[in-house]
Amino acid sequence: MINLRTANDADKEKILQLFKATFGFRSATRAESIWHWRWSLDPRLEHPGYRGIVAEWQDRIIANAAFIPACLYLQGKPVSASWAVDVAVNSKDYRQALRDQRKRDRAAGNKYQRPDFLQDGLAATLMQHPSVDHTILTKHVSKQMVAVLLKINFHEIVSSGNQTRTVSYTPKLKKSLGKFLAPLVAWYPNKRLMQLPIVNSKIELLDGEFDRRFDTLWNSAFPDYSAICLRDSATLNWRYFQHPIHHYTTLTLIKGKELRGYVVVMMRIKSGIPQGKIIDLLTHSNDQFAVDQLMVAAISYLRSQGAGIVDCHATHANVIKSLQSLGFSNRHKPHPLIIRSLDHSGLFVMEGDGDGG
């Protein structure tokens, strides 16, 4: 019989075994490397420790759904909400559990009937557990999981998702032409490609931790957003300065002695080609000029670090407007944000929301 229950840190090894069986060794290794950071160091946690629902069968965890605090503010007021960060189902064990139950029912002379709580599938059952926040946000969801969520009153924000822009042909050409010939061949197309607006604002690299200036910006900016997740200095330091795997760079926009806005970026290698990601950004909601200046600064910085493509996940109109004005477009798989029980008009979410992108 499948048993559903809330989980805790004592379930760590069984959950990692589930990840290994479901997603592979690399995913399990990553989950283990960020476990302490995610479940003990997050300043938004009311109590340190794993937060999730698991399904057990024969002393094995065959499915889980994990949630971290969203610290969501609607019209300037905090509401209870969570990010769904890990949902995994071991389909082989799940099917075997149902077969075993069917055999027991037949042996007892009973007609087999799937339990009511599993009518929508195991993943859907976990997401609807009574202990889970009613308001849930999630992104970068597989097609199979999207279909499950749409059945249980989640919906996609179709205007949201990842947008990309090619910023240099050199990295891709290096794979075929080599590091010496590629820059020569790419020089002219890059010259046409690299035209960007001028940054005429003071942009500085953040050296060290996020300081009180970020709290001042957050406290003055967030009440103007319809919906936005917490971005105080403690959360930013946890998410971007203390992350055990990723390295982030923060560019700040300075006006006088004040912080007018910031953008967080990172580099990654995908399919052997360096790519840049715009992870996070914050300005006042009506400061389109600051958004535009930070976006140009981010693209220029990532290009200087060798990126061939820059990617950005966005939901807010100001950010999308800036991206499109700079030549970004929806990629083949935009992965829109998926939410439950939330008016998404004016929602500000970026890649870093959740657990850092």
pLDDT digit string, tens, across residues 207-218: 999 999 999 999
Q: What is the pLDDT of residues 325-347, one digit of tens each?
A: 999 998 666 788 999 988 778 89
Which residue bears the tokens 């042996």? 107
31-71, pLDDT tens digit by residue? 999 999 999 999 999 999 999 999 999 999 999 999 999 99
Given pLDDT bands bounded at 50, 70 and 90, which one contains residue 111? Answer: low
**What pLDDT, on a 0 to 100 scale, did the predictor assign at position 101?**
78
Looking at the chain, the domain(s) classified CATH 3.40.630.30 span 161-348
Encode pLDDT of 67-90 as tens digits: 999 999 999 999 999 999 999 999
pLDDT digits (tens, 9 = 90+) for 241-288: 999 999 999 999 999 989 999 999 999 988 888 999 999 999 999 999
Level-2 CATH architecture, domain 3-139:
3-Layer(aba) Sandwich (3.40)
161-348 maps to CATH 3.40.630.30: yes
- Considering the chain, what is the average pLDDT of its residues? 90
Measured CA distances, 54 to 78, 142, 211 (Å): 28, 20, 38
Is 86:66 a contact under the CB 8 Å cutoff? Answer: yes
pTM (whole model) above 0.85: yes
Average pLDDT of span 192-196: 76
- DSSP assignment of 96-164: HHHHHHHHHHHHTTPPP---GGGTT-HHHHHHT-TTS-SSEEE-S--HHHHHHHHHTTEEE-TT-EEEE
Distance CA 97, CA 56 (A): 10
Distance (Å, rounded) from C-alpha 123 to C-alpha 2? Answer: 13
Q: Are 233 and 212 in contact (CB under 8 A)?
A: yes
Per-residue pLDDT, averaged over 289-311, amounts to: 96
pLDDT score of 187 more than 80: no
In this model, does residue 29 exceed pLDDT 90?
yes
